[in-house]
Each structure stands twice: as structure tokens, then as C-alpha cells.
Amino acid sequence: TSLTEVNSFSPSVPISPSSMINQYKFEDGPELRDLFITVDDPESHITAIETFITYRVVTKTTRGEFDSSEYEVRRRYQDFHWLKSKLEEAHPTLIIPPLPEKFIMKGMVERFSDEFIETRRKALHKFLNRIADHPTLTFNEDFKIFLTAQAWELSSHKKQGPGLLSRMGQTVRAVASSVRGAVRNRPEMFTEMSNYMETFSQKINLLDKIAHRIYKEERDYCNELKEYGPIHTLWSASEEDTAESLKGIASCIDRCCRATEKRMAGLSEHLLPILHEYVLYSEILMGVLKRRDQIQGELDSKVDALANKKTEKDLFLEEIGKLEDKVERASNALKADWDRWKQNMQWDMRSAFTNVAENNLRYYEE
């Protein structure tokens, strides 16, 4: 019941799945975009210390703040991870798109297999384009540097980040804030968001598991068909009266096998990546809500301290005023991003499941 909005459809929506999808559009259409990014051309690098993959990142833009209209750089996974960390640091209550996991992804075994590399390339491509389409993140200076700086320039820029002690301090403060207990003055809206995400996380994880189970069952079924067809062909060689019928069955099994492989390709291409991306999104959203609560908790503790202080009242009032502004900015940023994220999530889910339905229709027709 917490996901009613996701499951509700207007009576006026056309029956055709394709036209249903066309009812939902992003706020920024392609004609309004001024930043286009492509991630392609994976390349292996082997050194005495490590083996890693780099990807070509091509950027085309008409923005005035860029010195050129086109850039081409190579980036490895840890560069993408650095960018995500800088975005989280600069915008703690915005919803930063997820990165694919560093090592093994579900259903993948070999880290440097072609399938794994291609799956990761697509995920990295989506990661950068989601940032490019974001109304705030797209103008982040570290994002611009990531897209335009040569490898040595990026490496130099990375070294300018906060030092170890500064990072430790931030971690200690975050942990200390998180163990203070529930936030007393949390607005009802954010309690509803938290409840929504708990339910969403349970359901999306369940959907992810079911989808992978279906894919595994389809794969096992396809492997059995591959063995079953040749058996009928061999059998036909020793049966004169039924040879043509047996060959016909073998041919039919072969066509079923090819149709099943196409359906599996549709699942792995359109459904599994979307579900897994939103499993990662659910973790990110919970973290964003906690960070907003930490800012709120910091304000609450200052208000409590003021109530117990007889002196330094003006200093405390000034700090409380700054914290109130910080809480308001954090809350407004999350509220705006929440609405945008839900719209995109509903679009992605409708697209993914409609695509699966259409693939199934084609499969059974075949």
C-alpha cells in the first residue's frame, strides 16, 4: 500500500504498452540538453602492480563555461568512484546516482570477461548521463574537471582534496551524530519518505531476486533444449517411418531455443540492470535521509545546549541561526530531488516491465 503511486494508472491511459510509456516524459527533453556524454571503448592495462580497465569518455557540449565544445579523456573505475565521493561531499542531501559494484556483479563471475566489462560500461555511461541530466549536479565543478581534465591534471586535482585527518574528523562527527538516537523534530514529510524507502527497499530487493531466479530458470531450460534437439535428429536416422516427424520436432525445438535466447537477452538487457540499479538507489536514499537527520540532530543538540546555558547566549543564537539555514537548505534540496527521483523511478519501472511484457508476447507468438 505504500507503493500505491507506483502501481496506479489513470483510466485515460491508452491500453497499448508502447503508447502508455509515451505518456511519461522527463522534464528535460533531448531538445533542451546541452551536454552529451558517451562512455565506450574499454581498454585493458596490465602493469607490474595491477590490471585494470579504462574507458573512453567523450563529451560534447554547447555550454559557455567549457573552453571547448568536445572533449575526449580516459577514465578508470576509481576515477568514477572519486567523482561520486566528491558529489556526495558537496551535496550530502541530493540523490547521487549509483555506481556499479567494484568487483563481482550479480550473475557475473569473471571480472575481466567481455560480458562483465560491457555491463559495467553501460552502468558507467548511465551514471554520467544521470548526473548530466540533474539540474544541480550537472554544474558541479568536480564533474566538469572529470569530463575535461587529462589524466595527470585529474590526478593533481585529486590530491587537493581533504586530508586524512579531516576525513577522519568528518567520519567521527557522522558516527557521533548517528548514535544520538531518533531525531525529535523531524518533519512528518521525511518520516513518510523513510517509511516509503523501507517498503521500497524490501520490494525492490525481492523483485531483484525473483528476476535473477527467472533468468537462471530460463538459462537452464535453454540448455536442456540445446541437448534435446540433437537427440531427435539422431533418433530420426534410425526410424524410417517417423524420420520426417522427428526432424520436424528437432527443428521446432531449435526455433524454441533461439526464441528463448532472445527472451533471455531482453531480460539481461532491460530488466535486470534496472532492478539492480534501484536496489543500489534504495541504499543511497536511506543514506541521504540519515544525513539530513544528522543535520537536524546537530540543530536539536544546539537548541538543547542553549536551554542549559546561562552565558554565551548570543553566540549560541548565532550558531542556531546558521544551523537552521543549513537544515532548511538540506531539506529543500532533498524534497526537490525526491520528487524528481520518484518520477524517474516510475518511468524506469514502467519502461522495464512493459518491455518485458512485449518481449514475452513476441516470444509466445514465435
Per-residue model confidence as pLDDT tens digits over 85-130 = 999 999 999 999 999 876 544 444 456 678 888 889 999 999 999 9
Q: How many CB atoms lie within 10 A of CB 347?
A: 15
- Cα–Cα distance measured from residue 265 to residue 22, given in angstroms and rounded to the nearest whole number: 23
- Cα–Cα distance measured from residue 14 to residue 20, given in angstroms and rounded to the nearest whole number: 6
Residue 312: the pLDDT is: 64
Closest to 292 measured CA to CA, from 322, 326, 320: 326
Per-residue model confidence as pLDDT tens digits over 248-301 = 999 999 999 999 999 999 999 889 999 999 999 999 999 999 999 998 888 878
Closest to 334 measured CA to CA, from 194, 210, 239, 155: 194
Closest to 327 measured CA to CA, from 176, 190, 171: 190
The top-scoring range by mean pLDDT among 148-152, 212-216, 305-309 is: 212-216
Task: Please give the domain boundaries of the chain with CATH numbers for all domains.
Answer: 33-151 (3.30.1520.10), 191-365 (1.20.1270.60)
pTM of this prediction?
Answer: 0.78
| CB 77, CB 120: distance < 8 Å | yes
Closest to 301 measured CA to CA, from 195, 214, 221, 183: 183
Q: Three-state SS for 52?
A: strand
- Cα–Cα distance measured from residue 219 to residue 265, given in angstroms and rounded to the nearest whole number: 10
Query: Quick one: which H or E segment has residue 364?
Result: helix 313-365
Treating both helix axes as pointing N-terminal to C-terminal, what angle do 141-148 and 77-90 enclose, rounded to 10 degrees?
A: 160
- Cα–Cα distance measured from residue 254 to residue 135, given in angstroms and rounded to the nearest whole number: 50
In 1-159, alpha helices (H): 4-7, 17-21, 77-90, 114-133, 141-148, 151-158
- What does the block give as the cell for 220? 537452464
- The answer to whether residue 32 scores a pLDDT higher than 60 is yes
For residues 96, 101, 105, 110, the Cα torsion angle rounded to the nearest 10 degrees is: 140
| CB 356, CB 271: distance < 8 Å | yes
- The answer to whether residue 348 scores a pLDDT higher than 60 is yes
Q: How many CB atoms lie within 10 A of CB 220?
A: 10
Side-by-side strand order, sheet with 70-76: 35-46, 51-61, 70-76
Mean pLDDT of all residues belonging to the chain: 83
